[in-house]
Amino acid sequence: MNVGYREEGGNGGEHMRGYQNDTSAQLALNQAITKCASCFDVLHLLDEARQADVRPSTANMATAMHRIASTGASQPDMVMKDQRFRQLVLNVEDRLEKTPRDFGEQHLANVVWGAAKLRLQRKPLFTLVQKEVLSERRRLSEFSPQQLAAIAWSYAMMGFEAPMLFEAVQEEAVRQPVLARMLEQAGLLRRTDPH
């Protein structure tokens, strides 16, 4: 799955959803995270940022979760034993609980995809993301097909019960043929019998 952020139009200008409040230091941190060669490089980079009084943004944490999973999936036990990673997960959960609106669609997808890729059994994390994806302030049509497919795959991979989420994604797949194809390829599309 691609880590790219979907550009969205603003008031006369373009911005990337979820980055609008980030400082230049946080934007630079995000770029550096995407270039890290290992999961432990990401964790070290986050430590350095904190020591330099750069508070990781929501985008930084979501990108870190994705990058850690992308580079550390072959050694999930080592990643999950790392105190820095455990703290990152707690920070993501805390931010999801206190300021869920800070999470753009891509952030939500990156967080659960990263957790699922590492096989991280964190019910609070998955519950908070599901709650935000289904919140009244969100519209599934604002998620790209790739984001919704990543979210659905993550819940299925982890075996988390999320019937309302799966139902909503299935309904959105009726309106988005690309999403339907992605879900079908992942074995997640439920076909209804027309009879």
- Convert the pLDDT of each residue in 131-171 to its tens digit: 999 999 999 999 999 999 999 999 999 999 899 999 999 99
Element (H, E) at 14: strand 14-16
How far apart, in whole angstroms, are the C-alpha atoms of residue 115 and residue 117? 6
How far apart, in whole angstroms, are the C-alpha atoms of residue 91 and residue 166? 26
Region 13-29: what's the mean pLDDT?
Answer: 66
> Where does the chain have alpha helices with state H?
24-35, 39-51, 58-72, 76-81, 83-98, 105-117, 123-133, 145-158, 163-175, 177-185
Expressed in angstroms, the distance from the first to the final Cα of the chain is 36
On the question of pLDDT at 58 being above 90, the answer is: yes
Residue 15, beta-bridge partner list: 8
Please, which pLDDT band fits residue 19 given cuts at 50, 70 and 90? low
Backbone angles phi, psi at 7, to 5 degrees: -80, 140
On the question of pLDDT at 7 being above 70, the answer is: no
Give the mean pLDDT of the chain.
88
Burial 108-117 (b: 16+ CB within 10 A, else e): bbbbbbbbbb
On the question of pLDDT at 114 being above 80, the answer is: yes
- Convert the pLDDT of each residue in 62-93 to its tens digit: 999 999 999 999 999 999 999 999 999 999 99
How far apart, in whole angstroms, are the C-alpha atoms of residue 49 and residue 59? 14
Per-residue confidence (pLDDT) for residue 192, from 0 to 100? 55
- Vertex 154, ends 170 and 76: CA angle to 5°? 170
Please, which pLDDT band fits residue 22 given cuts at 50, 70 and 90? confident
pTM: 0.86
In percent, the amount of the chain with pLDDT more than 90 equals 84
Per-residue confidence (pLDDT) for residue 20, from 0 to 100? 55
Residue type, 31: Q
